[in-house]
Amino acid sequence: MIDWAAFLVVAAAALVSSAVVVSLYSLGLRLLTTAGRIPTVEPAEFTGAITVLSPARAAKDAKRARKALKANPLTDIQKSVAQYGGYLCFALCGLIVLYGVYLIVPALHQ
């Protein structure tokens, strides 16, 4: 029969590791955004799943975004703490991904 113990370990390990990776990366994005360095990544290609806004609506959004940025209550030091905190999150994420590569390649751990 199915090995339920092994299955539970797999489920728990998957849950914890993906939660940690996703949280770290999201936190990194959040910190960068807080620091006023909003990461904008243009889609490489416009797909059906991406909605293109009308120019008027987009201009309105951009204006609100600028206004919100100007009202950033953080001091410069706080901003750079947030920024480097964000980079730290990304670095930790990268390390976990490298550990994933280490697990994939048997030559590295046998």
Where on the chain is the footprint of another protein (CB under 8 A)? Answer: 1-3, 6-7, 9-11, 13-15, 17-19, 21-23, 25-27, 29-30, 32-33, 38-53, 55, 58-59, 61-62, 64-65, 68-69, 93-94, 97, 100-101, 103-107
Q: Is 31 exposed, middle or buried (0-12, 13-18, 19+ CB in 10 A)?
A: buried
Closest Cα partner for 82 from 24, 37, 25, 20? 37
Angle, helices 4-34 vs 76-104, to 10°: value is: 150
Nearer to another protein, 11 or 74 (CB): 11
Q: Shortest Cβ distance from residue 70 to another protein (Å)? A: 11
Nearer to another protein, 45 or 76 (CB): 45
